[in-house]
Structure formats: structure tokens, C-alpha cells
Amino acid sequence: MTKAYMPDVANIPLSNPLGTLDWVGMAQIELPINLATQVGEVVRSLARVQAYVNLADPASKGIHMSRLYLMLDKASNEALTPMNLTNMLAEFVQSHHELSTAAFVEYRFDYYERRGSLLSGNSGWKNYPALIRGTLRDGVFSLEMQVEVPYSSTCPCSAALARQLIQDQFSADFTGRENLTQAEVYAWLGTSEGVCATPHSQRSTAKVCVTLTDNQVGVFDLSALISVIEGSLKTAVQAAVKREDEQEFARLNGANLMFCEDAARRLQSSLDTERDYADFWLRVDHMESLHPHDAVSIVCKGLDGGYLPVPSLS
């Protein structure tokens, strides 16, 4: 049977107004993602994908969106690596060679990884919202990773005020006592009357986006980026927790009192020394337990033509 003719309105000449478009494509595409890791494993998740090419021909009615989808669908059967992503961007442009000169693709997904407890030797699963983004423009590829890491932040001001109340309570409880034994002070510190105030802490998040250098071409090493962030802040939230882990967590919070400015500077200092990241943008949010609003700090590397210090990259 002869296939019936199907009209293609995209081939009909465009009437005014004419014009080029920066990006045309699709968003919220549901696809599986197979992320290769540095240790040879594959992390599987479900991604929301957006894919675009530019429309460089002002007289063209539009792009071939089905071509982009079919290439994304084919790529979903393979591990997502920097090489595979750059090849896909090149194919996007090649498939629209008469229309386009630039391409963009972004994967948003949950990255799961087991992380060890602080002292007990246990481990548990943690979820990190993540994205991988690739751009091809003027013949130049740019690859980016972003991850969101939760941590705990204890307010330095609140800690100082709590210490003052404890000092005042000590003075009140032992007025007239000049010669206290170590055992008496030790016992007093172990009572709720002794430690009569505690500083406020809050769950916080660090969202970090980095541009990769040629040093990191084998895999999208999200695990290494997470380790840089958690290692800098010291107070990452825990999955499997025994009492010794909780006590160590309390110690780490006390040893790492942080305003949002402190957290941002810690991350800035660490990322500045990482050779795998050509540029970075970061935002920390301290979801206050004292206030109904959040405290936020934002900083980027500050390169000419690099990330701008804007509140959000999305």
C-alpha cells in the first residue's frame, strides 16, 4: 500500500515577521539516566531533560524537535559521560545543519549514594538533587555539574549568648562558693540546670555549580564534588545514626559554628583550589529556626565571561 502523503507545514515559507531565535526545543522530557562513576559503577535515576538548538535561519519556520528527542532516547541506553554528552551536542547541530549552530542539553535528577556514618561504621543512602548541563556554542563545548548538599549550621551569635546564660547560671548557683572541686563542676555541667541554654541550629543547603576543565573528562564525578562540599563544611546531615554518631555530630556543630557568610567562604576557598573545576557558582541557604525567613550567601569564582553572582542559575 502506498503511504499517504502527510503535509509538513514546517516546510511552508515563513511570512513576516522574520527573525532568529536563541533557543528552540523541549523541556520536562522524562528519560532514564545512567551515570557512570569513577569506580566503574553506574548510578541509575529518572531525569527531567531539556534540549535545544538555536534557530539561526530567520526565514525558517522551526526546528525538527523529533530529531532531538530520538537522539536523547538513543543516548538514554548508554552511560552518560562527558564524551557521550559532547558527541550528542554535536549531533544536535549536525541534524539541523541548515538551521542551527548551537546546542544545549540539561539533565535534572536525584543522585543517590551511600555515605558512611561519623563513628559507628554504618552507612546509609543519601539523595542529592543534581544536574548535568552541556552547551555547544561557536564550536566550543562547555560541561557543567550542579549538586545540592544538605548540612547543619549552628549560629555563632546564638552560641555566644547561650554560653553567657550558662555562665550567669553558674554564678547564681555557686554564689559564695570560692573553692569548688572538679567533681562538683563536672556534675553541675551534666545537669539541665547547668546547661540552661543551647544555641539554635538549622538544616542548611549548599547548591554548587561547577564548569569542568579538561582534567575531568572520563566521568561526571558528582561524588567527588559532594566530598569537597561536605569536607569543607564538616557538618553534613547523616543517614544511619547511632548514639556515638549523634554525639560526634554535636561536637562537629560546636566546633564549626557558621553564619551563612562563613559557609560560603569555606566553600569558596576549597573550590578555588580544585583543578578539575574551571569556574564555580555557589549559594548557601540557612533555613533559620529563629526567623521565618532564610539567610543566604552567594559567590562565584569571578572570572571574566564566567558565572555571574546572581541569586539563581535556573
**Domain ranges across the chain:** 20-155+200-300, 157-189
| Whole-angstrom distance, CA of residue 297 vs CA of residue 294 | 10
- The residues, ordered by sequence, that sit 6+ positions from 266 with a Cβ below 8 Å of its Cβ are 232, 233, 258
How far is 148 from 285, CA to CA, in rounded Å? Answer: 11
- The CA distance from 293 to 309, in Å, is 21
Closest among 9, 265, 238 to 124, alpha carbons compared: 238
Q: What's residue 1's pLDDT?
A: 59
pLDDT band for position 13 (50/70/90)? low
Assigned fold of 20-155+200-300: Urate Oxidase (3.10.270)
What is the distance between the alpha carbons of residues 107 and 30, in angstroms, rounded to a whole number?
Answer: 10
Q: Can you tell me the mean pLDDT for 303-312?
A: 93
Average confidence score pLDDT of the chain? 93
The conformational region for residue 29 under phi > 0 = left, psi -120 to 50 = alpha, else beta, is beta
Question: In this predicted structure, what is the pLDDT of residue 39?
Answer: 82
Question: What pTM was estimated for this model as a whole?
Answer: 0.91
CA distance 17 to 127: 47
**Residue 36: what pLDDT?**
86
pLDDT at 10 over 70: no
Closest of 105, 67, 108, 64 to residue 86, by C-alpha:
105
Mean pLDDT in residue range 253-278: 97
What separation, in Å, do the N-terminal and C-terminal C-alpha atoms of the chain show?
50
